[in-house]
Structure 1
Amino acid sequence: MFDVVEITWVDPSGSLGSLVAAIKNVPNSDDLVETVTLYPPPEGAPQTEEEWLALPEDSPYVDGPQIDELSASARDALAEVEDSRLLEVARRWTMDPLCPFRDGEDVVDLVEELVALARRAKESDELLYCWWITG
């Protein structure tokens, strides 16, 4: 059994990166949440435009799913945010254009869930993973 938080419209480098930026109080950037793609395997990915165009419609390289391993620094940013800052972080996150949510109250609950998940992962010396649909 996996310890999960189910979220729609959150991807590792975009919207999750904007949450990490809100936590760290820094501008969002593409390298804030480093990931390693585990599936589909990068070594099997098409290399040319012709190979991409030749993929069948149901190829995971076209529509996913994709599984990414998040860096320890992303996990730690989530795990180490102080509880007293969660409302502020949620508000900052909703102001970022990459955040898919606008209702601050529901976002606080989501941020709390993500922070709790990250804390459990850190305590167990585990990383976080994101399973998402790419297409």
Structure 2
Amino acid sequence: MGVLVDYFRAPGADAVRDHLDEQEGDSPLGVFDGLGLKGIEPGVTLGQLIAFASDQQWRAGLVQERLIWPVGAESDLEYEGPWVSVLGDESRDVLAGLTAARIPDLVARWARIDEFYGDADPEHLREVLTELAALAGRAREHGESLYVWACV
């Protein structure tokens, strides 16, 4: 069973919550600018990429993330998703600042993380990273945050 993960930009948390309430939690892709990245969750998988890109060691909490929808889900042990969180702007800015020249080295390192089970396609990861960096750049340019919709 994989985790479905969509990364998107939006003008604010209220707009995201309004959409999710109206659409009963359906993915916001198509309404907001974003991309689907099945299995690339923010805390560990994306977090390791952020660590590589910012020359840090990965640690829990490196990618700051705050649940914004649904309200109260963090304390409901029976809730099975979907969830939406907002990423800290530091992560957005690291991604937005990536140059095309850095992407091959980052992909080579990222492809070797345990979470990809040694089965990562570097070409696919290059496309993912290029698209994610562009999305982060558009978010920063418009003064928006990056959001993550996830569902098991």
Normalising by structure 1, we get a TM-score of 0.81
SS of the equivalent of 1:14 reads helix
Say yes or no: does 1:92 pair with 2:122: no
Aligned position for 1:119:
137
Deviation of 1:86 (Å): 0.6
Report the Cα distance in structure 2 between the residues aligned to 1:131 and 1:122, rounded to whole angstroms: 19
Report the Cα distance in structure 2 between the residues aligned to 1:43 and 1:105, rounded to whole angstroms: 36
Instruction: Check conservation: 2:44, 2:60, Cα contact below 8 A.
Output: yes
Instruction: Check conservation: 1:66, 1:132, Cα contact below 8 A.
Output: yes
**1:5-61 deviations in whole A, cap 9, x for unaligned?**
111001111111111112113221112100110122237723xxxxx4xx4xxxxx2
Structure with the bigger percentage of helix: 1
SS of the equivalent of 1:74 reads helix
**Residue from 91, 98, 107 that aligns with 1:74:** 91
Q: CA RMSD in A?
A: 1.8
Shift >6 Å, 4+ stretches: none
**Cα distance 1:44–1:8, how it changes in 2: closer, same or farther (>3 A)?**
closer
Aligned position for 2:150:
132
The size of the alignment, in residue pairs, is: 121
Instruction: Check conservation: 1:18, 1:99, Cα contact below 8 A.
Output: no
The structure whose Rg is larger is 1
Aligned position for 2:69:
39
Matching residue's letter, 1:30: A
Structure with the bigger percentage of strand: 2
**1:50-77 deviations in whole A, cap 9, x for unaligned?**
xx4xx4xxxxx2x211101000001001
Aligned position for 1:26:
56
Deviates most, 118-127 or 8-17: 8-17
Say yes or no: does 1:106 pair with 2:106: no
Ranges in structure 1 where 5+ consecutive residues have no aligned partner: 47-51, 56-60
Aligned-pair identity (%): 29
Normalising by structure 2, we get a TM-score of 0.73
